[in-house]
Amino acid sequence: MIKFSKIFIIIYTLYSFLTSIAYSDNINNEKISSFLYIGTELGIVEPIISKFRHKHSKTDITLKRSPMYRGKIGYSFYPQMAIEFSFTHQPKYNLNYVLPEKNLANGMTIPKTPGKTTVISNIFMLNLVYDLAEAKGFTPFVILGGGVAQIKVKSTSSRWDTINRDFFKVKTTITNCPAWQVGLGFSKNITPSFSLDIAARLQVAHGVKINYDTLDIASQKFIAASPIKKTIGVGEFGIGFTYKLPV
């Protein structure tokens, strides 16, 4: 709840600042233009830190890039300002892990064991977009947004050949966690109502979890372990279009 409050305060502060700029720029205008718009975008997402180690289990984890698909709908309420809702689908992060070597009380040793699974991310954002002054036909813009990321980790398991059975299981985990983003981009008008957009964003999701079970050799039963928790930051790069709706 505290993280959501901080995100809201940041968005509101920027909103107030940009609104004052837009008002001062247009104070002498008799009419301020406004319009609805829709858009879509596709691209790739690259983790900022792709490799890390879970301190408790000593598991090495690698997260690799995913494609991304975005849709948005917004309302421009000043000539240079808009508020929009966006939905981003990142369908296939490849998550690879390496379990450390483990010495058991009975003298046996479980060797280093690799494994892999897939992570799916759906991000819902409320964004504030501010257009800067047009230069040579291109309009730069900045983005600030906050919302929720739904992160799904698919189940998988690792087998120990010596006992001919699984000894480690990642459980299907769905985490709803606070997220925010900042970004820069530029747009190019193809027609008065249709523009091409290119943007780069930093997205951060807080408290992403991976739940897993480990095998108790003595009882031959799986025991739930403390989940892996991590704040994930990614760089998102996309190209798309925006269409102004007639109102």
Rounded mean pLDDT of the chain? Answer: 86
Residues 62-91 pLDDT 10s: 999 999 999 999 999 888 899 999 999 999
pTM score of the predicted model: 0.81
Among 49-58, 109-118, 143-152, name the most confident range: 143-152
**Contact status, residue 67 vs residue 43, Cβ threshold 8 Å:** yes
| pLDDT at residue 24 in the model | 45
Report which of residues 203 and 12 the model is more confident about. 203
- Chain centre distance of CA 17: 26
Q: Which residues contact 175 (CB under 8 A, 6 or more apart)?
A: 149, 150, 151, 152, 153, 207, 208, 209
Angle, CA of 110, 155 and 175, to the nearest 5°: 120
Domain locations in the chain as residue ranges? 2-245
Closest CA to 15 of 168, 194, 144, 113: 144
Give the pLDDT mean for 29-41: 75
Residue 137 binned pLDDT confidence (cut-offs 50, 70, 90): confident
Quickly name the fold that domain 2-245 has: Porin (2.40.160)
- Per-residue pLDDT, averaged over 97-105, amounts to 87
Per-residue model confidence (pLDDT) at position 4: 46
| pLDDT tens by residue, 165-186 | 899 999 999 999 999 999 999 9
Gap between the Cα atoms of 225 and 118, Å rounded: 20
